[in-house]
Structure 1
């Protein structure tokens, strides 16, 4: 068993609750800009809200919550997108000692009912009429629920008016009785299989992650003398989003909110808000890269971009070898070539992200090493981090000046990591949760002697860097007994511009297969670039053949990273993407593998049956016909 831990952190000692830092900042630097809000729904202008203005809004809302009967220990759900009001309400609830229960706004009726009932919420704030209808349809089974507030119907203003008669001293007295080990959040797991479970997260646990990161890495959020700025667009219903909110408020970073994560809206927000630090997930960073490539191809400069991207990766790899004392660094020719592309390509790419992003963090799932190197090469180093709902967010971080792409870094100071003999990652430290709501058996199964069994697989190298290799429950075992971790294959597949999503399958099958969805924008451009002769039916057939060959090349490229027995031998392209709304992705954009396999059971069966060749009498798993990649399209 491998074990690794760093020295305890130098972060400040927490004496109260999470809301205290806001009050301390407002008292110390009242004019510090803390929030930036658009002046209108479609405006490109952001107005700043100072620390004292933010605090006063929190106090006014806290008075309304007290008047509505929200007492310490009461649980209130927030079912809304990432927007300013979420942050205000969250801190108002913490101020009065209440517990926040985040619910993703697109959750199904059954999911909403389960979370509200399991957590015992007394109130829920929804965003719009659709949210009211969803909660209203399950109210009969929620005897503890007393309030349903609608954000777009002026709920916060009504609460403020309701508590106007209360003196601020009442709020202050309630805030001061909140203890560090009090429950701050009941965060429900993504529920990739089975019902989600509510993780009890304390004020101390959530603060520990934020304060440790700020103490060790806060200086990287912006250039010296400049206030860091972060655009929050990941859902606050997930612990990663809550961690970003905490980093901004506790670290005095200017935070903007973007509730619409469509490509066009997010791109506009990045250009106008101009963040200095970017928090994202791998799918977004992959999408940004592909958009860069697509824009270059549309301008007739696709080959130039690919040469520049290759140089960026080579340059970053050479710099990495130098900082890890494994090489001399980039040679003269590479530095010259990189400098040329900096003037002609890289700075334009950074400008598309606002022009001020210096570093970024990717979380939620592992990020492809080549993609890490690309971003570092164009001037934006991406930390690939690791954490869970049960650990209040982050567990590892890249040591500053010793970053190693392709890993998720080393354990945060004060956090211990072990890798068990079966490859499972075990974690302990101040951020580990207190248990699952109402499920002592599950809590005992997850926590053993203070160590959390994460369910993730990984390995620690000799320097303590952790590499994530997959999820324990996601490992595929073929009918021949071969064990395959799907994550690496899926990463490699998604790097092809045409591939949007990929799910590797093959449990109890003769070989590994894949379900693939296509990027609609790239697919349209790819089709437009084809020049095929013949009439319409002939062109359509040739186009389909060309597409099959292109996806087969993507599969072959992915297979080059694994052994032959682990390689993808069959695949099928699906007509629709996996999405949160169809229940095939979690709110944190993770694949619901069990749901996907169940939903596409017929397609998977057909994919494997298609490899059966007439006249063969041997069992399917013995057939040599599995040597070729399948080209099965719906």
Structure 2
């Protein structure tokens, strides 16, 4: 099949958008708890009425800074209540939100401020403020930024105070003037090559995505969203997290924010979320933490966990067969739920009903493990240009190993070259200030994704590789590194895997070692704690551990595509060295350049 459409079962009126929906909710159900935010030593609830009132007050303050409809306003911050509050206020003021990842370098900040022509900048901390100030000093009079506002320094309250002289009707008039074609946001892709491109997303793009996600059975499966909790912990600069945040606001669910993923289980156990949104690494770490706890306890506990994991995977796989799980698998599942699964679910808050994974591919075995223990993770697919999810597996329509079927209102097709192309109201029409990129990727309403894929007869989409990453060996074999790298990084010890071999006689591999798992590995193998990866990269035991992951990956490909040799890098990849994007996607060309000597060693005879 070359084309598949999932028709929208909803209509979007010209005057409707995310802002109008939340305002309507605040009027019809003012006491609904939309947010739960930290205050002092505890947490306080924010009702829909209180949130909109505060956002309007802030919007008046933004207008008082000289920000007119269509002007750009930057947010540079970790995910927190103020991020969403400021975002809503910017949009209510008719302006355009420009997110910047909190981990961005000064060079990246400089480019986005310059390219967007931002008038106002909101930052989280003094450190962020210094970075922006350095950029502004270097730009001098060429900068369009009039003011930098710091969350931690009480800047939001100062902006609110500035708005006291702006008539209350001004914001209402600006909201009423928003159309579907009004620009809502410029989201800069973290691009693995070249400068980030600003994707122009309209109010229609965001509203369609939110309504499409609401129409999925994933959201429906948690029942009435009102009173249900979700924890926002991915960066709100990421299009997927922001799209889900808008969706939850419209639905009336309660959200809290948490930026430290290393302590995320603390918030899970406090908030008891019903829905989780994460990237594969989050779910991998949940599984690894459970395994490590069992392995540290005793050899028996370790064996019980591994048996429970195998049983969960088998139970889940059996659900996809005509016969379903038999009596033996069902009894095993009940037994292991008491011994193992219940503890994993408790670490996630104990009330998770469904989860969504996006951002990159996730291991099918990991999906089966979670589904088998009673927490289904639904994998989806999309890009900034599609306003997040364009495809997603859904309750009752889930095929593990695919990224699901098109979300309502989206059409997906495969070009003659095998590239996935997407159309629909959630698809951006242009890049900001970049007509060349627009002409290259956006034609006649279709966006060329740069990903190779397939669509089966039921409309399920499978990603088979990245167009720009395709490796052609000296023997003429085409190798897509993505599937191999996905299997490799499912091993907790490996933080990154970079498959190489373009123009070379065979496929090779560079790997980096996860810092936390490396500590555990050394302790387990009786190796001194002070030993570094650089010290041990040729160690027989460490290489054997990596070889185990390589052997597993090689089982998924043909002989010609197998990894023949690998090198362990002395250090991990870093955003500071421009080797990964803020969403941890590998910049393959940069890595190949930085580690060219290591690659040459792979092919020395």
Against the structure 1 CA distance between its residues 581 and 254, is the aligned structure 2 distance closer, same or farther, given a 3 Å change threshold?
farther
| 1:270 corresponds to which of 264, 268, 271 | 268
Q: CA RMSD in A?
A: 2.0
Against the structure 1 CA distance between its residues 451 and 71, is the aligned structure 2 distance closer, same or farther, given a 3 Å change threshold?
same
Q: After TM superposition, which residue ranges in structure 1, 4 or more long, deviate above 4 angstroms?
A: 223-226, 540-543
Question: SS of the residue aligned with 1:23?
Answer: helix
Deviation at 1:225, TM superposition (A): 7.8
Question: 2:509 is matched with which residue?
Answer: 514
Q: Confirm whether residue 428 of structure 1 aligns to residue 423 of structure 2.
A: yes
Question: 2:27 is matched with which residue?
Answer: 27
Contact map agreement 1:209 1:392 (CA 8 A) in 2: yes
Deviation at 1:251, TM superposition (A): 1.5
Deviation at 1:421, TM superposition (A): 2.3
Question: 2:132 is matched with which residue?
Answer: 135
| 1:298 corresponds to which of 296, 299, 310 | 296
Question: 2:94 is matched with which residue?
Answer: 97
What TM-score, normalized by structure 2, do the two folds share?
0.95
Question: 1:366 is matched with which residue?
Answer: 361
Deviation at 1:361, TM superposition (A): 0.6
Q: Confirm whether residue 393 of structure 1 aligns to residue 391 of structure 2.
A: no
Deviation at 1:11, TM superposition (A): 5.5
Deviation at 1:147, TM superposition (A): 1.4
Deviation at 1:240, TM superposition (A): 1.2
Question: SS of the residue aligned with 1:279?
Answer: strand
Deviation at 1:218, TM superposition (A): 5.7
Deviation at 1:543, TM superposition (A): 9.6
| CA distance in 1 between partners of 2:224 and 2:431 (Å) | 42
Contact map agreement 1:427 1:452 (CA 8 A) in 2: yes
Contact map agreement 1:120 1:144 (CA 8 A) in 2: yes
Against the structure 1 CA distance between its residues 356 and 541, is the aligned structure 2 distance closer, same or farther, given a 3 Å change threshold?
closer
Question: 1:451 is matched with which residue?
Answer: 446
| CA distance in 1 between partners of 2:361 and 2:130 (Å) | 37
| CA distance in 1 between partners of 2:16 and 2:375 (Å) | 36
Question: SS of the residue aligned with 1:163?
Answer: helix
Range moving further from structure 2, 499-508 or 111-120:
499-508
| 1:81 corresponds to which of 78, 83, 108 | 78
| CA distance in 2 between partners of 1:507 and 1:116 (Å) | 37
Question: 2:317 is matched with which residue?
Answer: 317
Question: 2:413 is matched with which residue?
Answer: 418
Contact map agreement 1:470 1:486 (CA 8 A) in 2: yes
Question: SS of the residue aligned with 2:276?
Answer: strand
Against the structure 1 CA distance between its residues 446 and 166, is the aligned structure 2 distance closer, same or farther, given a 3 Å change threshold?
same
Question: 1:524 is matched with which residue?
Answer: 519
Structure 1: tracts of 5 or more residues without a match: 322-326, 613-634
Q: Confirm whether residue 72 of structure 1 aligns to residue 69 of structure 2.
A: yes
* 1:45-444 alignment, distance < 5 Å: 45-139=42-136, 140-141=138-139, 142-217=142-217, 219-220=219-220, 222-223=222-223, 227-261=227-261, 263=262, 265-300=263-298, 301-321=301-321, 327-444=322-439
| CA distance in 2 between partners of 1:580 and 1:76 (Å) | 24
Deviation at 1:232, TM superposition (A): 0.8
Deviation at 1:14, TM superposition (A): 5.2
| CA distance in 2 between partners of 1:30 and 1:130 (Å) | 37
Deviation at 1:8, TM superposition (A): 2.5
Deviations along 1:157-188, whole A, 9 cap, x unmatched? 00011112334222212211111210000011
Question: 2:594 is matched with which residue?
Answer: 599
Contact map agreement 1:232 1:244 (CA 8 A) in 2: no
Deviation at 1:130, TM superposition (A): 1.9
Deviations along 1:586-605, whole A, 9 cap, x unmatched? 11221111121122122222
Contact map agreement 2:15 2:176 (CA 8 A) in 1: no
Question: 1:324 is matched with which residue?
Answer: none
Against the structure 1 CA distance between its residues 11 and 397, is the aligned structure 2 distance closer, same or farther, given a 3 Å change threshold?
farther
Q: Confirm whether residue 558 of structure 1 aligns to residue 557 of structure 2.
A: no
Aligned pairs, number:
595
Deviation at 1:219, TM superposition (A): 4.1
Contact map agreement 2:18 2:203 (CA 8 A) in 1: yes
Q: Confirm whether residue 491 of structure 1 aligns to residue 489 of structure 2.
A: no
